Amino acid sequence: MANSANTPLNNPDPNWVWATPAIGVPWCTCGVDPLTKQPPHQVTRPLVTKYVTETLGSLPERMTNREIALVVQSLWRFPDITPPIAESLMRSVKAVNAQMAEDYPLATAMAAVKHFSNTWAGDDRP
């Protein structure tokens, strides 16, 4: 069979997520980059790396569900992880890892943060 596998379920490599369309974080007030026409504070690998480092104190080899939630909370400036946020996070973890686990390799955890950021619809905002 030919390569059938850019879908997350068939492909344990989470890096596909970084190629999905970028959405700016909600706290960014920079507007749109005049050159790229994209929001300047897209959720990129460097931005997620910065937030993982700031939130956890260093870049770990593996991250738990709670640590992923903490990074998302800090990146998105959520006051709390509400049930809709938690549910959406679970969907993102399953999208990049196929199933929930105790913890995940850093690349998978960071991809889950990115996936959440691309797909969170903001349904707990007023």
Least distance to Zn ion, CB of residue 53, Å: 19
Nearer to Zn ion, 42 or 92 (CB): 42
Nearer to Zn ion, 40 or 60 (CB): 40
C-alpha pair distances (Å), 77 with each of 45, 48, 74, 119:
18, 13, 5, 16
C-alpha pair distances (Å), 58 with each of 34, 106, 117:
34, 11, 21
Least distance to Zn ion, CB of residue 30, Å: 3
Nearer to Zn ion, 47 or 107 (CB): 47
Site residues for Zn ion per CB under 5 A: 28, 30, 40-41
Instruction: At 92, list the tokens.
Output: 């993102």
